[in-house]
Structure 1
Amino acid sequence: MKIVILFLTFCRVSAVINQLNDAEYATMPPVFHLDRYKLCVDQTGGIYCMVEIHLVGDSDNDLLRMIHEYSERKETHFNHSRLHYGICFTKMCKDYIKTEEADSKDLLLVIEQCLNASFWDQYKLKTKIDEDTICHSKDQSYSTEPIDVVVAVLCLCILLLNAAGSIYDTIIVKRNHSGNKWLLCFSIKRNWSKLIETQEDRQNGIERLKGLNGMKYVQSQSSFRSILF
């Protein structure tokens, strides 16, 4: 039994690469790569994409096996099988743009085909990309989401309440000297006067709270006596 445990432990340790020399490390694709964003989107029809790439390949691929074994030491090594790239689609995948237009393929599929060809030529590896890939262009239009509508409606309601409260405070309350306190809470005039009032203006309100000082004194004396006795 001990021999089996030692054998399994040895196999586990042997599947982890602790260190690579410079030449071996250079054979792996870089974990991070960013093309120049502004230069990309400023060109005609420029599209820039942020892509999460998973490296895949055949089971007998020596490079992929080395990548997995090197990445296994998570304490000190990056995961070199998961890459984070920012690519200029119109530059890197220019040979695939015509294909996309002709066949109306999904953009993500076209990016994956482009990266597959590039990584196969350089490393003999294939790729899979995450579905949450984000692409930008200079003239990109953004669709309106339900949360955008909710926020816009809330802001509009607040503005309408401010307008109604201010008009109500200025015209109706000024004549009748009384009004709905809930609507007056949204009066810009009334809120502004409270915002800029001085200490003297607040004196009447502070007088009502002076009883709290007596309560604080009694509580402090009780605490002091409990410490002494």
Structure 2
Amino acid sequence: MTFNLKLMLSETEAEFRRLPKLFHLDDYERCLERKDGIYCLGMFDVYSDVTPNPVYDIIQEKSQDLSLYNRSYLHRGYCLPTRCPSSEANETARFERCVDAWARSHALRTRLHTLHYCRAHGQPRPLGPDTNDLPHRVVLYFTYTMLVMALVGTVYDLFIAKKGSKNPLLTSFSIRINWKQLTSNYQDVDPRLRDLESFQTLRMYPLYLLLNGFAATWWKSIGDGPMWPVLVGAESENCRKKFWITAAFLQNFIQKRDLCLVQTWIMAVDLQLHMLILFLTLLLHKHRQHAVKVLSVLFVVATGLLAYKAFTEDLIPTYLYTNPEAYRNFFAAGGADSFFDLYIHPINGAMSAIAGSMIAFIHMDHQERNIKMSRSKVLVFLHHIATPFGVVWLYLAYPYFRHYDRWTQNLMVVIERLVGAISTSFFIYSIVNHKGLFHQIARSLRTVTRLSFSVSMCHWCIMILLYTDRWILQDSSYLRVFSDVIVVHVLSHIVAVPLTLLVEYPLQKFMERLINITGHRWFSPLKAKAQ
């Protein structure tokens, strides 16, 4: 058995060695340093004009395997003067013939599928930031304003204001105070800061706009490389084109396939569901005895709507189409319908949102009736098996349902969301009520989790910068991928600290205190007259 397995693996490796490399990039910087330098990047179809062709047969066979990259396309970045010297004036035709000549040496043929660009010496770097452009200036001036306010607020807090009589609007920008909030225990936080938690989205909005504005303007000007125009340049244009759509949290409905900071769909869905759950909570708060029943009915309705959408639109679970080619194309092909029509749609998270609200009402009811769920042995037992159950579920669901018929895969959309909504809601409830290991872990990570929003907003820009600001192709390995993940994670948290201290927390506090002051001035006379 061991011998047969080794033989199969060696045969597979031998097959891959016969195939042309999927990706290739000539040295981008060295090419464009030449006076006659021309660098072209494109994607090519692979075909064969002879029969039989063993190499092409292997390519077709491997292209059917969804766990592998689609090898019927080749991706090439060539320095034309060194790769194929010619007096041909048409750069595109020269590039196409150059790649085809190389393919002939492998008993294959190629035709140009997509030309990304051809760049000549003299224009090696992307265009610099357009400081005459209004959006560029707005982002720049906003950044300057926040830095100045941080300086003013910190100096005022440390050297000018008297203790006990500090202006709350100015101290909102104090780095010392914001750092204390970032690193403090929950018990140290002033309870009044929680009075306006329904406005939490407005705590987040300025930073959200800033990062989207940066992506639409300055982002494309801070780096370069052979892949920079294709990834950063194109995405930055999408960000500029749909900035107001993103600002209105509608990017998961309007122009949803033109991705801009792909992670922001989470904020859009969260806000849409947050507004729904906030409305339901306020509506049901005065009739709490019926809240769980009403939410149970809504949970069933949400499940039915998800099932209807999955079956009528032939949608499948995400793990059935998350393959290398789908990731490379940002889900532009192969599973695109399920990603754009289900994964980033509010109906995908409605069940979890309703289940979470239901758990909140149950928790409130237990508190009002002084029921100590922390003493429940059943709760403690289920708390400890929740995580192993989740791991086993993921391990079994992926291989078991991958090869089933389409109807079963459609049904798995509903089952997957049901399991996720119920298990996640219970896990959160058990952490709140049982002061066990997971509760302690959650408390120990409180400072890191407070940075989570800033991290989520900046990590995509950092990751794309890390990968695209490279001048030559680098071989991938598990060690390199792991090290890149660690680097992106660390850099994202480093960048998130000033974003949190200089933008998120200051404007969050400033808006809360401004609303409090304004509300006090408006409503105090009305209360006095009523008395």
The TM-score normalised by the length of structure 1 is: 0.49
- Please identify which structure carries the higher helix content: 2
The TM-score normalised by the length of structure 2 is: 0.26
Q: Radius of gyration: which is bigger?
A: 1
